Amino acid sequence: MRYVGRGPLVNDKISLDQNGKILYELKKSFDGATHVLLSLLEFVEKLASIVPPSYRHQVNYYGGLPSHSKIRPLIVLSPVVDVGPKEKKSSPGVLLDERLGDSQEKKAEKPSTYIPWAELLKRTFGIDLTVCPCCGGRVRVIAAIIRKEAIQEILEHLNLPTGPPKRERFYETEYVYENFA
């Protein structure tokens, strides 16, 4: 299931009258009015009020389907995974239980929900990091480099940036509105 958000305005409902004012057709007529008449400055003011703030989540999910919902397990079925028969282990505890006639079976272990990061990238973005782009062979991890100095040396040798990308900030500017009528 995918979430789809609608835009706040419908382009087909926006028109210009003879005086250069903007007419916006209403979906429902509450008091008999079918359109809202706005000047250009008022229209831009209404548009600016629906622009989301910078560096904030733009989509919020409510109800039972979001991943953090307490009632999600009651609504969404979890996939059934057949783990197959388990081999008996020959540990002293198992042997002791068999000798004593303990017929109580242990709870079945829950299958792991871990998905490797390469598989997640392949599912989400279609990037297969397990295939070599040059020869098409299988790629495997030969080293995990965690020392910051070693990582910087390698990146400098490959002429790649060693720091995070610079984040652009939002700066307020003054806009000059002209009368287009």
Per residue in 90-142, pLDDT (tens digit) is 544 454 455 545 444 555 567 788 888 888 989 999 888 888 888 989 888 88
Q: What is the C-alpha separation between 129 and 126, in angstroms, rounded?
A: 9
Instruction: Kindly report whether the global pTM for this prediction surpasses the value 0.75.
Output: no
162 vs 59 pLDDT, higher one: 162
3-state secondary structure of 166: coil
pLDDT tens digits for 151-181? 999 999 999 998 888 877 766 666 666 665 5
SS3 content of the chain, % helix, strand, coil (to 5): 25, 5, 70
Evaluate whether 180 touches 18 at the Cβ level (below 8 Å).
Answer: no
Identify residue 12 by its one-letter amino acid code.
D
Angstrom CA distances, 160 to 25, 32, 64, 70, 147, stand at 53, 64, 44, 45, 17
R_g (Cα) of the chain, nearest Å: 30
Q: For residue 57, is pLDDT > 50?
A: yes
